[in-house]
Amino acid sequence: MTKPPEARVADLAATIRRRVAGHEARALVAVAGPPGSGKSTLAAALVQALGPGAKVVPMDGFHYDDRVLAARGLSARKGAPETFDVAGFRHLLLRLLQEDEVAIPLFDRGLELSRAAADVVGADDRILIVEGNYLLLSRAPWDALAPLFDLTIALNVPETELVRRLMDRWAGYGRTPEAAEAWVAGNDLPNIRTVIRESRAADLTWP
């Protein structure tokens, strides 16, 4: 994924600081968008621009394990809204607003599984950039996340560019062009359209 322009990231970081100035509790900033839109890239760039006290909290750590997906007949839809532990994710966000130190899970794409307690949010981490596909989804149970965010940012990327990026992503993970195309068409593209059609408006749009 191409690194975002530093000047624009700096401007967005400054906007975040203004929006959360004076907060006693941690600030939760949602960065949402379809698969391939560059959420993790932007989130990492924002944390770097914000400096000490900022940290990324990814939604992807709440993927159901492959065994759970297989038992539920959802293996072919991994990454769809129904393949995440939304209640567990919401509980984590509530803990982050209430507790000084919280261990968080991270998704390992190389292993295709979530690693529990793979990172720790500490007492000094006051601005959390929460990134994920469905943070702005208007359907239940995802809509219960809305009150927890101090600021929401939506990534806006054309569908054709998202497909190109995802084809490159899966090729990088060793899938043949045919397998990558089948996965994008049957799984990623429906998820892209779900995000675009069912997400509420964000406070800010990027780019």
**Concatenated DSSP letters for 153-193?**
EEE---HHHHHHHHHHHHHHTT--HHHHHHHIIIIIHHHHH
**Residue 100 maps to a domain:** yes
Residues 6+ apart with CB under 8 A from 101: 120, 121, 122, 123
User: Do the beta carbons of residue 154 and residue 204 sit within 8 Å?
Assistant: yes
Residues 6+ apart with CB under 8 A from 40: 1, 56, 58, 131
**Residue 96 maps to a domain:** yes
**Residue 122 maps to a domain:** yes
**Residue 116 maps to a domain:** yes
Q: What is the DSSP letter of 26?
A: P
Which tokens is 165 given? 């990026």
pLDDT in tens, the chain (207 residues): 667 888 999 999 999 999 998 888 899 999 999 999 999 999 999 999 999 999 999 999 999 999 999 999 999 999 999 999 999 999 999 999 999 999 999 999 888 899 999 999 999 999 999 999 999 999 999 999 999 999 999 999 999 999 999 999 889 888 999 999 999 999 999 999 999 999 999 999 998
Cα angle 46, 4, 78; round to 5: 80
Q: Taking the model in full, what pTM does it have? A: 0.93
- How many other C-beta atoms lie within 10 A of the C-beta of residue 108? 14
Instruction: Give me the number of domains the chain comprises.
Output: 1
**Residue 13 maps to a domain:** yes
**Residue 1 maps to a domain:** no
Return the CATH number at 179. Answer: 3.40.50.300
**Residue 157 maps to a domain:** yes
**Residue 144 maps to a domain:** yes
C-alpha separations of 68 from 50, 73, 85, 108, 112 in Å: 37, 9, 11, 17, 13
The domain of 170 spans 6-206
